[in-house]
Structures are given as C-alpha cells and as structure tokens.
C-alpha cells in the first residue's frame, strides 16, 4: 500500500492516497470508503465496484467471483483496472491545511516550497520526507525528523543548526559530520561520535581551541578547494562530492527516480557498480510457480525463486527471491499470489497515478 501522508486504513490493499477506508482494494484518492474495489475519487461510499454502486448483496457476489489467489485471474484484473482508471481525475498536488507552499504531499505547513512528504513544517525549501510533524527554517534536507536551521542534510534527526551532516541525531551547531548522535554539538568533520562536543576530525579540543580553528579550516577549504575528476570545485558550503560517496549511483534510490545508463553516470562523475555474478541456484523457475495460491505447498519456503523479469528492471533486482513462513501464511490467509511480479505491476501503476 502506498500512502503519501499516512492515514487510518484497515485491510486495504494496492491503494494510493486513501484515508479512513476499510476492507477495500485497488483504491485511488478515496476517503471514508468501505467495501470498495477498483475505485477512484470516491467519498463516503460503500459497496462500489469500479466506481459503480451496488447493493451489499450484489457487491459481495461480484467480489466472491474474483480470485486474486490465481495469478492468471490477477493479471486480468490488473488489465481491467488499468483500462478503467486510465482517465482518472487527479489533483495536481496533495496539499492539506497549508498556506503558501509548493510541491506535493504537504499538510499543516506554511511557507515551504519545492517540498514533498512534509507535515507541520514552516519556512523551508527543497525538503523531502520529514518523518514526523515539525521542522522549520531548513534548506535542502532529506529524510529527517524535526530539523531546524539545517542546510544540506540527509538523515538528520532532531538536528539544530547543522550543515552538510548525514545520518546523525541529536546534533547541533555541527558541520560535515556523519553518524554522530546523542546530544553532540560543535563538531566539524567528525564520524560516529556519541555525546561529544568541540571535536574536529574526531579529535577533542577545548571550546576556545575549536572556535579558533574552525574559521581557519573554512578559509583553507576556500583557498584550496577540493576539485573532482570533472573539474568541479568544492569550496566550503558544498555538500560532499559524489565521487567520495561509498555507494555507486545505481546502488542508490537515485537510480529509480532519475535513471541513468552506465555511460551517463560516469560522464557525470558518479561511480557505477557492474552486475555481480550470483552464486545461488534457482530452485523454482517463475513459470513453475503454481497458478493458484491454494496449490502452493509449504516446501516453497526457503527455496530460491526466479523473478519474472530476471533482473531486467530498474529496481536493483537480484533476479531471485525467497519466501519466509510468515509471508506464505499471509498470502494464503489473504488469498494472494506468491509471484513477486503479481504485485509490482499494480504498484507501479499506482505510483504513476500519483
């Protein structure tokens, strides 16, 4: 289920932008709906099937004729849903109780621009995915929790006045630091410190020494900046150069949002990871998976199952997957297929709809 801003839902599958809905499947932009299937843009409805109203008895009759546990049946429903939903009316942006904002998936916010998936945020720009309500006066921050006065940060939690920091929590007045937590402050170029202050490159200094050295370091960074292999200049105030990243471009989520070929990535100065040889053996070919979930035996657990697209996708696929006992029990209880590809097409369609 894909929810841009989490809402209260129960027993809802393959749905997007829904709130206060229960016992439903394949919904898009529906609110306060119950027992609906394949519907969109509905409010306060019950027993609707592809946006057509039915009595409870007739609706249940139609639902009982469906069998999502049969893969071939699932594919037919997928095709029908795509056809019927091709002309869905979509809001240009999901903005709720907000003022002077631009972006999408914004609620209870003010004066925020080019921002996405935020709540209770004010006076910020270029923000993506704040994981809790709150945050103010931030610029270019991603995946954070209640940041304030932060700039060029990623994965910062409860951070204050921190710049160019990554994966740090409870950090304040710090710069170019990674993985520092628990009420750490006044750090410069530090890694994995806990409850520390006035440190430079993980070395402890006095408050006076720190305040004397930091301006000198900043001046040195401006006088002798880092220059990458493409000739790009990184003075103080720039985020870490991508060629220093421990990850290759196609290992990150960037490849899903902004896909590049290997040639394009290398031309832009990113690293690229070539496909690795896998040392596993496929136990079950995709075409050999039973068509009906009722025919899937418990011995499928732990076996290496071939993925239908065989890695020819853009989602860092490893070409195979396994099913764990709880997962198989869930599929059987909910009468859903074990084919990995049974879920991705519909989810992809819903992503496009957003």
Residue 5 pLDDT level (bands cut at 50, 70, 90) = very low
Instruction: Name the strand (E) or helix (H) holding 30.
Output: strand 21-31
Cβ burial of 25 (10 Å; 0-12, 13-18, 19+) is buried
Q: Mean per-residue pLDDT for 231-251?
A: 92
Q: What is the pLDDT of residue 349?
A: 35
Q: Mean per-residue pLDDT for 205-219?
A: 97
Cβ burial of 328 (10 Å; 0-12, 13-18, 19+) is middle
- Interatomic CA distance for residues 273 and 275, integer angstroms: 7
Q: Please report, for residues 54, 88, 214, the alpha-carbon distance to residue 50 in angstroms, rounded to integers and kept in the order given.
A: 10, 12, 63
Q: What is the pLDDT of residue 217?
A: 97
Q: What is the pLDDT of residue 334?
A: 87
- Interatomic CA distance for residues 190 and 169, integer angstroms: 13
Q: Phi-psi category of 310—alpha, beta or left, where left has phi over 0 and alpha has psi -120 to 50?
A: left
**Per-residue model confidence as pLDDT tens digits over 79-92:** 888 888 888 888 88
Helix, coil or strand: residue 85: coil
Cβ burial of 102 (10 Å; 0-12, 13-18, 19+) is middle
Residue 54: alpha-carbon gap to chain centroid = 36
Give domain limits for the chain: 9-84, 95-216
Residue 348 pLDDT level (bands cut at 50, 70, 90) = very low
**Per-residue model confidence as pLDDT tens digits over 287-334:** 888 889 889 999 999 899 988 777 677 666 777 888 899 999 998 888
**Per-residue model confidence as pLDDT tens digits over 128-171:** 999 888 999 999 999 999 999 999 999 998 899 999 999 998 99
Residue 7 pLDDT level (bands cut at 50, 70, 90) = low
Which two structure tokens, joined as six digits, stand for 158?
A: 């409860």
**Per-residue model confidence as pLDDT tens digits over 168-197:** 989 999 999 999 988 899 999 999 999 999
- Interatomic CA distance for residues 243 and 227, integer angstroms: 11
pTM, two decimal places: 0.77
Helix, coil or strand: residue 288: helix
pLDDT at 351 over 60: no
Q: Mean per-residue pLDDT for 216-220?
A: 97
Q: Phi-psi category of 266—alpha, beta or left, where left has phi over 0 and alpha has psi -120 to 50?
A: alpha
Helices (H), the chain: 56-65, 71-84, 207-223, 254-257, 262-267, 325-334, 344-353
């Amino acid at each position: 289920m894909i929810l841009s801003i989490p809402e209260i839902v129960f027993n809802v599958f393959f749905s997007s932008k829904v709130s206060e809905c229960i016992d439903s499947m394949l919904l898009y932009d529906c609110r306060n709906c119950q027992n609906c299937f394949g519907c969109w843009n509905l409010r306060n409805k019950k027993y609707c099937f592809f946006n057509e109203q039915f009595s409870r008895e007739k609706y249940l009759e139609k639902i009982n004729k469906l069998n999502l546990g049969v893969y071939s049946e699932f594919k037919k429903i997928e095709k029908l849903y795509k056809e019927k939903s091709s002309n869905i009316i979509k809001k240009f942006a999901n903005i709720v109780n907000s003022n002077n904002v631009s972006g999408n998936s914004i609620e209870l916010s003010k004066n925020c621009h080019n921002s996405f998936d935020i709540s209770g945020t004010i006076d910020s720009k270029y923000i993506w995915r704040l994981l809790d309500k709150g945050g103010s006066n931030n610029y270019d921050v991603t995946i954070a929790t209640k940041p304030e006065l932060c700039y060029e940060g990623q994965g910062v939690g409860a951070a204050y006045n921190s710049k160019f920091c990554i994966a740090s929590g409870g950090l304040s007045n710090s710069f170019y630091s990674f993985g520092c937590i628990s009420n750490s402050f006044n750090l410069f170029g530090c890694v994995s410190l806990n409850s520390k202050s006035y440190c430079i490159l993980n070395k402890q200094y006095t408050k006076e020494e720190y305040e004397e050295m930091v301006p000198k370091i900043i001046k040195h960074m401006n006088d002798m900046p880092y220059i990458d292999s493409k000739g790009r200049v990184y003075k103080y105030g720039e985020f870490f150069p991508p060629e220093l990243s421990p990850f290759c471009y196609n290992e990150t989520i960037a490849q899903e949002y902004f896909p590049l070929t290997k040639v394009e990535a290398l031309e832009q100065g990113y690293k690229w990871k070539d496909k690795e040889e896998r040392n596993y053996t496929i136990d079950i070919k995709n075409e050999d998976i039973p068509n009906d979930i009722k025919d899937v035996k418990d011995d499928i657990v732990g076996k290496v199952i071939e993925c239908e697209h065989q890695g020819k996708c853009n989602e860092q696929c490893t070409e195979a997957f396994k099913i764990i006992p709880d997962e198989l029990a869930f599929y059987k209880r909910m009468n859903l297929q074990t084919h990995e590809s049974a879920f991705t097409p519909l989810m992809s369609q819903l992503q496009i709809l957003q």
